[in-house]
C-alpha cells in the first residue's frame, strides 16, 4: 500500500495493520503531518496543527498496542487507538488555542478539554490539530475573514461548505481519518455533502456539547465527519450516550447486519421544490440504487416542514446573540467580527420575545407531528437531498436554480433546518457527482435515537454504490 492509498484507507484497515504490526501509529501520524504540510497551504483546512502533541500521542498509542499481550503496558483501547483525527476549532482543547474561527478568540487557550475530547483521548485517538471553520460556526461557507477561506478539495475555487468546512476538506483530502464537527443548521451535513464525505448529526443531547463554544443551545449538536459510514460510526461510538440495551453503533455496518429490508419515506413537497437539475438527477439515480438494495420507497406527508426554516432562524438568531452578549463579545467587540456574522448578531438583537416563543412552539409542534407522521406512514427514515445545489464558488452570494435567483446561504440551510429544529438524527452520505465533478449528498433523517438504523441504511447504500474517486488536489 503506497502512501496515498494509506492516507485514504479506512479506520478498520489501519487498525488491522496496527494490530498486525505492519504499520505503527507514529508512522501514520508522520504521514498525515507531511500531507498537511504539503496540502494545507492550498486547502487551508487547518488553523492550528498540533504536530508535537500528535507525535507524543502516537508514541503512547504505539507503546500500548505493541507491548506484548498479557504484559505490563499492553492496552488496546479499541478501533480509534492510534488513529489520527482532527477537531473543529470551536471545541475546547487543553493547552491548545481554540479560536472558533474568530479574531476575538485568536489567543484563547482553554485550561481543560471538552467532554468529547476527553472521551476521544480515552479511546486513544491522535489529535492532529484544529480545523478551519465559519467564524463562530455562524455560517455555511467557511469563507473566514480572519484565517482565510477553506477550500473544497474537488475544486479549490469552490467552498467546502460550513460551518465545519475545514473538517470536511481535511477528511476528503486525506489529511486525517475523521473529524469532529458541530451542526446547528446543517454545519456537519452541508460540508459533508459538498466535499463528498459522510457526516452525522446525532439526536439532540446524545453527544455532550459541554465546553463547545455555543451558537444556539436548543439546536447545537456535535458529531463526526468521515469517509465512510463505518468510519463515522467508529468516531461517534465513544462520544455517544447510549441507552440501556442499545448496541454499539459500530455493529450497524458489519456485513452480517446489512441485509435487513428497510422502508424509506419521500416527503411530499419542500425537499424537492427547489433543486438544481444536476442534484435532482443524481438524487433520483441514488433512489434507484436504494430500491435495488431492498429499499421500499413511499411518499409521505410531513406537517410543518415549510415552517421549519423561519422557526429555526428565529431561534438561532436570538440564541446566538444572547450567547455572545453573555460572553461579553457583542456588542463590545463588534468591530472584530466579520461583516456577515456581525450582521446576523445585530438581527438577533431585534428578535422579539414573542417571535422567539412562537418559534419554540413551532419546534415542539414539529417534533410531535414528525414522529406521528413517521409512525403513521410506517417508514424507517426519510430520504432527501442534503443540499439543493452543489458547491458554489467562493464569494458566490446568490445562486440561480431553474432561472430563479436565491441567497446561497438560504439554499444550503434549507434542507437541513428540519432535523436541527426537531432534534432529529440525520446522516449525509455521498451519492454521486454532477457532470462538472462536484459531489452530491443524500440525507437520511430518522426519529430520535435512530442513529443505529441510519448508519445501517447508509452502509447498505454504500455497498450498492460505485467506489468514489479521490480529489485530484489531494493526490
User: pLDDT digits over 107-117, tens only?
Assistant: 999 999 999 99
pLDDT band at 362 (very low <50, low <70, confident <90, very high): very high
**Is residue 187 among the annotated active site residues?**
yes
pTM reported for the whole predicted model: 0.97
Rounded CA separation 390/439 (Å) = 7
Which of 256-265, 296-305, 452-461 shows the lowest mean pLDDT across its residues? 256-265
Percent of the chain at pLDDT exceeding 90:
92
pLDDT, position 365: 98
pLDDT reading at 186 higher than 70? yes
pLDDT reading at 258 higher than 60? no
Catalytic residue among 24, 163, 164, 216: 163
Query: CB-side exposure of 319: number of CA atoms within 13 Å?
Result: 20
Catalytic residue among 60, 86, 88, 102: 88
Rounded CA separation 368/214 (Å) = 26
CA distance from start to end of the chain: 14
User: How large is the average pLDDT for residues 76-89?
Assistant: 98
Rounded CA separation 277/293 (Å) = 25
pLDDT, position 381: 98
Contact 443, 384 (CB under 8 A): yes
Which of 11-20, 291-300, 328-337 shows the lowest mean pLDDT across its residues? 291-300
Query: CB-side exposure of 32: number of CA atoms within 13 Å?
Result: 34
pLDDT reading at 389 higher than 70? yes
User: How large is the average pLDDT for residues 61-70?
Assistant: 91
Scan for cell 446566538, then name that residue: 320
User: How large is the average pLDDT for residues 143-147?
Assistant: 98
| Sheet with 439-446: strands ordered across | 46-49, 126-131, 84-88, 179-183, 221-226, 198-201, 426-433, 439-446, 381-385, 262-267, 295-300
User: How large is the average pLDDT for residues 127-135?
Assistant: 98
Mean pLDDT for the chain? Answer: 96
| Cβ neighbours of residue 230 closer than 8 Å, sequence gap 6 or more | 10, 11, 12, 250, 253, 459
pLDDT band at 259 (very low <50, low <70, confident <90, very high): low
pLDDT band at 248 (very low <50, low <70, confident <90, very high): confident
Catalytic residue among 167, 187, 216, 293: 187
Q: Is 89 left (phi over 0), alpha (psi -120 to 50) or beta?
A: alpha
Rounded CA separation 120/349 (Å) = 37
Rounded CA separation 252/323 (Å) = 37
pLDDT, position 256: 57
For 190-238, the pLDDT digits (tens) are 999 999 999 999 999 999 999 999 999 999 999 999 999 999 999 999 9
User: How large is the average pLDDT for residues 298-308?
Assistant: 97
Rounded CA separation 37/175 (Å) = 10
Query: CB-side exposure of 395: number of CA atoms within 13 Å?
Result: 4
**Is residue 276 among the annotated active site residues?**
no
pLDDT, position 386: 98
pLDDT band at 101 (very low <50, low <70, confident <90, very high): very high
**Is residue 20 among the annotated active site residues?**
no
Amino acid at each position: 500500500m503506497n502512501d496515498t492509498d494509506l492516507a485514504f484507507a479506512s479506520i478498520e484497515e489501519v487498525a488491522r495493520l496496527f494490530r498486525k504490526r505492519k504499520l505503527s501509529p507514529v508512522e501514520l501520524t508522520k504521514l498525515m503531518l507531511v500531507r498537511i504540510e504539503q496540502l494545507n497551504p492550498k486547502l487551508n483546512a487547518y488553523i492550528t496543527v498540533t504536530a508535537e502533541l500528535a507525535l507524543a500521542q502516537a508514541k503512547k498509542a504505539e507503546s500500548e498496542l505493541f507491548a506484548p499481550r498479557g504484559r505490563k503496558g499492553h492496552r488496546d483501547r479499541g478501533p480509534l487507538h492510534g488513529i489520527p483525527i482532527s477537531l473543529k476549532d470551536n471545541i475546547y482543547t487543553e493547552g491548545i488555542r481554540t479560536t472558533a474561527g474568530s479574531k476575538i478568540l485568536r489567543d484563547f487557550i482553554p485550561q481543560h478539554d471538552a467532554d468529547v475530547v476527553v472521551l476521544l483521548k480515552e479511546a486513544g485517538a491522535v489529535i492532529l490539530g484544529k480545523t478551519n471553520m465559519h467564524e463562530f460556526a455562524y455560517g455555511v461557507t467557511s469563507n473566514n475573514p480572519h484565517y482565510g477561506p477553506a477550500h473544497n478539495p474537488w475544486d479549490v475555487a469552490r467552498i467546502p461548505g460550513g460551518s465545519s468546512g475545514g473538517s470536511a476538506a481535511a477528511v476528503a483530502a486525506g489529511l486525517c481519518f475523521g473529524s469532529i464537527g458541530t451542526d446547528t443548521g446543517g454545519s456537519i451535513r452541508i460540508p459533508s455533502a459538498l466535499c463528498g464525505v459522510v457526516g452525522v448529526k446525532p439526536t439532540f443531547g446524545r453527544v455532550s456539547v459541554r465546553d463547545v463554544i455555543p451558537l444556539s443551545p436548543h439546536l447545537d449538536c456535535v458529531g463526526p465527519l468521515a469517509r465512510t459510514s463505518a468510519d463515522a460510526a467508529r468516531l461517534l461510538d465513544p462520544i455517544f450516550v447510549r441507552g440501556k440495551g442499545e448496541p454499539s453503533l459500530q455493529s450497524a455496518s458489519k456485513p452480517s447486519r446489512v441485509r435487513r429490508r428497510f422502508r424509506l419515506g419521500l416527503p411530499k413537497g419542500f425537499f424537492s421544490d427547489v433543486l438544481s437539475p444536476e442534484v435532482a438527477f443524481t438524487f433520483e439515480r441514488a433512489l434507484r440504487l436504494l430500491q435495488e438494495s431492498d429499499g421500499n420507497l413511499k411518499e409521505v406527508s410531513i406537517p410543518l416542514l415549510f415552517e421549519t426554516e423561519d422557526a429555526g432562524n428565529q431561534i438561532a438568531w436570538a440564541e446566538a446573540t444572547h450567547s455572545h452578549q453573555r460572553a461579553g463579545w457583542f456588542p463590545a467587540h463588534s468591530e472584530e467580527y466579520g461583516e456577515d456574522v456581525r450582521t446576523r448578531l445585530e438581527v438577533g438583537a431585534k428578535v422579539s420575545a414573542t417571535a422567539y416563543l412562537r418559534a419554540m412552539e413551532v419546534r415542539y409542534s414539529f417534533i410531535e407531528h414528525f414522529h406521528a407522521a413517521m409512525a403513521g406512514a410506517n417508514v424507517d427514515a426519510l430520504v432527501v437531498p442534503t443540499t439543493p445545489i452543489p458547491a458554489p464558488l467562493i464569494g458566490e452570494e446568490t445562486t440561480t436554480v431553474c432561472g430563479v435567483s436565491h441567497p446561497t446561504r438560504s439554499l444550503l440551510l434549507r434542507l437541513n433546518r428540519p432535523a436541527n429544529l426537531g432534534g432529529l438524527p440525520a446522516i449525509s452520505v455521498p451519492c454521486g457527482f454532477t457532470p462538472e465533478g462536484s459531489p452530491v449528498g443524500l440525507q437520511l433523517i430518522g426519529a430520535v435515537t435512530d442513529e443505529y438504523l441510519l448508519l445501517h441504511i447508509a452502509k447498505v447504500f454504500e455497498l450498492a454504490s460505485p467506489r468514489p474517486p479521490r480529489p485530484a488536489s489531494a493526490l
